Amino acid sequence: MNSGEKLIRFRERAGMTQAKLSDVSRVPQTTISGIENTDKTPGLITATKLADALGIDVKELLPEKEVTK
């Protein structure tokens, strides 16, 4: 599962739209959409902001290969 698929799962579990997650995390909605709709892995700062807004550990958003590095 890539970061985008994980982000969708956690965002929907939290009952948030992309716009709401953007407001809470201060990450632009276009960035959230880009992560969700591509294989792009967010940078650490962006991933941390999103994870904090979703109440999860940042490691849960990163692909396994990124976590083990």
Sign (positive/negative) of CA torsion 6, 26, 58, 10?
negative
Contact status, residue 7 vs residue 41, Cβ threshold 8 Å: no
Q: pLDDT digit string (tens) for 22-69?
A: 999 999 999 999 999 998 899 999 999 999 999 999 999 987 765 444
Name the CA radius of gyration of the chain, rounded. 11
Architecture of domain 3-58: Orthogonal Bundle (1.10)
pLDDT tier at 14, thresholds 50, 70, 90:
very high
pLDDT of residue 69: 46
Domains of the chain by residue range: 3-58
pLDDT of residue 65: 66
